């Protein structure tokens, strides 16, 4: 019995789309493999994740042990996003990794001088950033334990705000008293992101806080608090 033309067309189109997706994915993996600049590679990683095809993971396994922790974290982001537990484990392991390593990405070099300590700080900072991109609630207790880490505490509030778990609100309110204005500013921004109206009594005293931090432009604690208060006061009451 002959199939109706519409059904034949449907299956033909489906096969064509599947073939196009496979080719797109192949090209993305090739781009990922050829990238050595971490911030370019992570953009490719996000495109791979958007394809939502875990069959790609075996092709990327070797990246999970790459000497460059930034590139390793990019691959782990793909694995974690596509449901492979190795990805999350690799990212969190980098946060605790203070072992020796070759020169890599993300560490400032001054007058040709490379610092192992700065490399480790840069790698740990990037892992915390990737956890924010991942938005996995399992990362919340791990990140909260790093709120007072002198090396990477200033990225932790941002990551918590990206994840969006309300259990971070009270610790972030506590971070408003941190000595580092970077931490105070990012804690304010995270509380705003979390729509934490309960933080308003703790935010209002910061309107007189003259602390500043440089994020390409100078940002003041008072200015960040003012913006957060305006948003939170306008938020609908549930």
DSSP state of 194: T
Q: What are the DSSP calls for 82-103, one per residue?
A: TT-HHHHHHHHHHHT------S
Same structural domain for residues 140 and 80? no
HSE at residue 178, side-chain half, CA atoms within 13 A, is 26
**pTM greater than the 0.75 cutoff:** yes
10 lies in some domain: no
Q: Residue 8 half-sphere exposure, CB side, CA atoms within 13 Å?
A: 5
Structural domain that includes position 45: 23-134
pLDDT (tens, 9 = 90+) of the chain, 238 residues, equals 555 555 545 444 555 557 888 899 999 999 999 998 999 999 999 999 999 999 999 999 999 999 999 999 999 999 999 999 999 999 999 999 999 999 888 766 665 778 999 999 999 999 999 999 999 999 999 999 999 999 999 999 999 999 999 999 999 999 999 999 999 999 999 999 999 999 999 999 999 999 999 887 899 999 999 999 999 999 776 5
Measured from the Cβ of residue 213, the count of other Cβ atoms closer than 10 Å reads 17
Same-domain pairing of 206 and 164 = yes
Say yes or no: 63 and 130 in one domain. Answer: yes
Do the domain assignments include residue 67?
A: yes
Q: Is there a single domain that holds both residue 44 and residue 145?
A: no
Per-residue confidence (pLDDT) for residue 216, from 0 to 100? 79
- Residue 184: CATH number of its domain: 1.25.10.10
Both tokens assigned to 15: 């096969």
What pLDDT shows up at residue 105?
A: 82
The pLDDT of residue 174: 97
Q: Which residue has the tokens 């790093």?
A: 146
Domain count, the chain: 2
Q: How far is CA 107 from the centre of its chain?
A: 18
* 60, 141: one domain: no
The Cα–Cα gap between 121 and 45 comes to 23
- Residues 211 and 43: their CA atoms lie apart, in Å, by 33
Buried b (16+ CB within 10 A) or exposed e, 90-127: bbbebbeeeeeeeebbbbeeeeeeeeeebbbbbbbbbb
């Amino acid at each position: 019995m002959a199939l109706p033309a519409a059904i034949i067309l449907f299956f033909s189109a489906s096969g064509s789309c599947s073939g196009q997706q496979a080719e797109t994915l192949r090209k993305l993996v090739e781009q990922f493999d050829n990238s050595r600049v971490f911030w370019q590679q992570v953009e490719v990683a996000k495109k791979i994740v958007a394809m939502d095809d875990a069959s790609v993971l075996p092709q990327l396994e070797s990246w999970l042990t790459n000497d460059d922790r930034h590139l390793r974290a990019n691959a782990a982001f793909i694995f974690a996003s596509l449901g492979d537990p190795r990805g999350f484990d690799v990212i969190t392991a980098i946060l605790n990794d203070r072992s020796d390593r070759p020169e890599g990405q993300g560490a400032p070099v001054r007058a040709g001088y490379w610092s192992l300590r700065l490399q480790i700080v840069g790698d740990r900072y990037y892992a915390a950033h990737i956890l924010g991109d991942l938005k996995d609630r399992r990362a919340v207790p791990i990140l909260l334990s790093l709120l007072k880490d002198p090396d990477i505490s200033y990225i932790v509030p941002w990551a918590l705000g990206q994840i969006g778990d309300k259990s971070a609100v009270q610790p972030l309110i506590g971070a408003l008293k941190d000595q580092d204005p970077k931490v105070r500013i990012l804690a304010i921004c995270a509380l705003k992101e979390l729509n934490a109206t309960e933080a308003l009594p703790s935010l209002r005293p910061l309107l007189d806080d003259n602390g500043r931090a440089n994020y390409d432009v100078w940002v003041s604690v008072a200015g960040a608090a003012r913006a957060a208060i305006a948003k939170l006061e306008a938020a609908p009451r549930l």
